[in-house]
Amino acid sequence: MYIRRDPKRKASRREWRRFNGRMKRTIERTLLSNQAFQSSIPQTNRRIVARSRKNLKMSWQSYVDDHLMCDIEGTGHHLISAAIIGADGSVWAKSSAFPQLKPEEVTAIGKDFDEPGHLAPTGLFIAGTKYMVIQGEPGAVIRGKKGAGGICIKKTGQAMVFGLYDEPVAPGQCNKVVEGLGDYLVEQGL
């Protein structure tokens, strides 16, 4: 409801506080999606942004369900399992069939991203299953093969995106899905 005020009358403190509060919330919501803006926020205003981020509903599980476990290229096929795992080994989200990783497996994967070729002689182990490491992108993507199936792992700034596949899904299809989501997360600063 808009109340017309006398233009000569000054706004009360209460009116100014209400106006400023509404403007702050609007500006915060608008700018929170802009990554360049977020990195330029002065330290004194970080509390406001952190409070606003709590209100955003971000579900890592939806990334796994909607983007990794999706129908691949309209074929009706999908990955066996997928997950997004933090660089520290914490599981952010996973499909129901994703195997439980051992801490030493996560450490070895992280080391291969830092020192490409580390896993090539020994192989890549996921929940005790050995995958032969095949050509990937040094420091960015690890690919593994086991029989008709395999794995693709894409490293982002703060996490790793995993995708496991088996026939009839082709390695290229798995790579496209996993690396596509990984590239998107890298663009978003995640």
Distance of alpha carbon 98 from alpha carbon 80, whole angstroms: 8
Residue 129: helix, strand or coil by DSSP? strand
- Bridge partners of 133, per DSSP, are 144
Q: Give the chain's domains with CATH numbers.
A: 13-55 (no CATH), 60-187 (3.30.450.30)
Q: What angle do CA 29, 60, 105 make, to 5 degrees?
A: 140
The per-residue pLDDT for 102 is 92
Angle between helix 13-31 and helix 46-55 axes, rounded to 10 deg: 70
Q: Do 15 and 22 form a contact (C-beta atoms < 8 A)? A: no
Burial (0-12, 13-18, 19+ Cβ within 10 Å), 64: buried
Average pLDDT, the chain: 80
At residue 1, the pLDDT reads 41
Indicate the burial class of 125 (C-beta count within 10 angstroms; 0-12, 13-18, 19 or more): middle
Condensed to tens digits (0 to 9), the pLDDT of residues 68-125 reads: 998 888 888 999 999 999 988 899 999 999 999 999 999 999 999 999 988 989 999 9
Please count the other Cβ atoms lying within 10 Å of the Cβ belonging to residue 143.
22
- The Cα–Cα gap between 117 and 141 comes to 12
25-69 residue pLDDT tens: 655 655 555 555 455 555 544 454 454 444 444 588 988 988 899
Buried b (16+ CB within 10 A) or exposed e, 11-23: eeeeeeeeeeeee
